[in-house]
Amino acid sequence: MVNEMKFYKGLLGVLIGILALYMGKGFLVYFPFYFQSIVGPLGIIGGLGYIYMVINLIRLQRWAYVMFFTILLSSIALAIPFAIIAGSEPNVNFLEWTHVTFFWVSLIAIAVFGISALIRKIRKDKNNK
C-alpha cells in the first residue's frame, strides 16, 4: 500500500509538472525576444525561476504547488475579462489569453516570491551567525 501511494504521488507530481510546462510555454515562445529588449534579464530570470518551480512541482514541494496554483488561478481570473472583451471564438481566445496572462503573472509572481525568499534566507543566515 505504501509503494502504491508513492507511485501515485509521483505520477501526480509528473502530471502537474507536465501541465506546468504546457502552461509555461510562453517562456519558450518569448525566449528569442529576451535578448532584444530591456526587459530581457527579467524574462531570463523568470524562465529559470519557472523551471525551478516545475522541478519542485515534480518533487512534490508544497511551496511550488501554492505558487503554481496561485499563478494559474490569477491568470484565469485575468483571462476571463480579456476573452469576453476580445469576442469572436470564445474557446480559442480564452486559451490564448490564459497563456498570455499566465506568462506575465508568472514573471511578476516569480520575481516577487524569489526576492522575498532571498531576503528571508539572508535574514535567517544573519540571525544564525
What pLDDT, on the 0 to 100 scale, is given for residue 89?
61
Q: Mean pLDDT across the chain, nearest whole number?
A: 81
**Tens digits of residue pLDDT in 72-115:** 899 889 888 877 777 656 566 677 778 888 888 888 888 787 77
The structure's pTM equals 0.75
What pLDDT, on the 0 to 100 scale, is given for residue 117?
75
Q: How many helices (H) and strands (E) does the chain have?
A: 5, 0
Indicate the SS3 state at residue 33.
helix
Domain boundaries in the chain?
Answer: 2-128
Distance of CA 13 to the CA centre of its chain: 15
- 111-115-118 Cα angle (round to 5): 140
E strand or H helix at 124: helix 90-128
